[in-house]
């Protein structure tokens, strides 16, 4: 991982939080590049050094989160369900503003679908194909069932201001997912 220039990291971090802040006030379509630049305290032109336009910016912002989740996946899939889920809930907690905003915004309705896709993809390798308990069940159904349940519970948890600690959520959701897959 070639380390990025400090300035770039800061610029992108500013843009990240700026977009999130603005999306809490307006729908994404109403937000102008100028708005973002002002909120991030950056020159407007600087944004174009990194992104095509605001859609590209949002896209890459989402992409970054998905990549980080994927990295955690590789690391966590060796553990059992409950302990493997802890870092994910911690990640959601840490970035709850991003996720709640994205899940709430009308401007990015595709985000939920994208998150669901990502989750189902990760679940594929976790289905129990040995014990025979799932012999009668279609993979499609199991993935969709567990996937929507997982995204749904994450959504609920974040929107309700994370009423339980990540560890507890991981244990309980882990147990339920273990039964489903």
Between the alpha carbon of residue 60 and those of residues 36, 56, 57, 77, 78, the distances in Å are 15, 6, 5, 25, 28
The rounded distance, in Å, linking the Cα atoms of 144 and 116 is: 9
Q: Which of 21, 42, 62, 149 binds a second copy (CB under 8 A)?
A: 42
Q: How far is the CB of 31 from a second copy (least distance, A)?
A: 21
Residues 6+ apart with CB under 8 A from 157: 89, 92, 163, 164, 169
Q: Which of 4, 10, 64, 175 binds a second copy (CB under 8 A)?
A: 10
Phi and psi at residue 21, to the nearest 5°: -60, -45
Q: How far is the CB of 120 from DNA (least distance, A)?
A: 33
With respect to DNA, which residue has the nearer C-beta, 33 or 153? Answer: 33
For position 6 contacting a second copy by CB under 8 A, the verdict is: yes
Task: Name which of residues 48 to 67 contact DNA (CB under 7 A).
Answer: 48-50, 52-54
Q: Which of 1, 41, 78, 136 binds DNA (CB under 7 A)?
A: 41
Tokens, residue 49: 């050094």
């Amino acid at each position: 991982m070639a380390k990025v220039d400090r300035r770039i990291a800061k610029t992108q971090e500013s843009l990240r939080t700026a977009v999130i802040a603005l999306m809490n006030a307006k729908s994404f379509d109403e937000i102008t590049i100028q708005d973002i630049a002002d909120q991030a305290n950056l020159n407007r032109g600087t944004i174009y050094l990194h992104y095509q336009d605001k859609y590209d910016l949002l896209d890459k912002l989402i992409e970054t989160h998905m990549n980080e989740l994927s990295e955690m996946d590789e690391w966590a899939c060796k553990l059992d369900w409950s302990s493997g889920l802890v870092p994910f809930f911690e990640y959601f907690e840490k970035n709850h503003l991003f996720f709640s905003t994205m899940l709430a915004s009308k401007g990015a309705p595709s985000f939920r679908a994208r998150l669901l896709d990502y989750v189902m993809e990760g679940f594929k390798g976790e289905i129990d194909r040995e014990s025979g308990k799932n012999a009668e069940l279609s993979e499609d159904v199991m993935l969709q069932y567990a996937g929507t349940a997982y995204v749904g519970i994450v959504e609920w948890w974040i929107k309700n201001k994370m009423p339980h600690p990540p560890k507890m959520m991981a244990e309980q959701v882990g147990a339920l997912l273990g039964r489903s897959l």
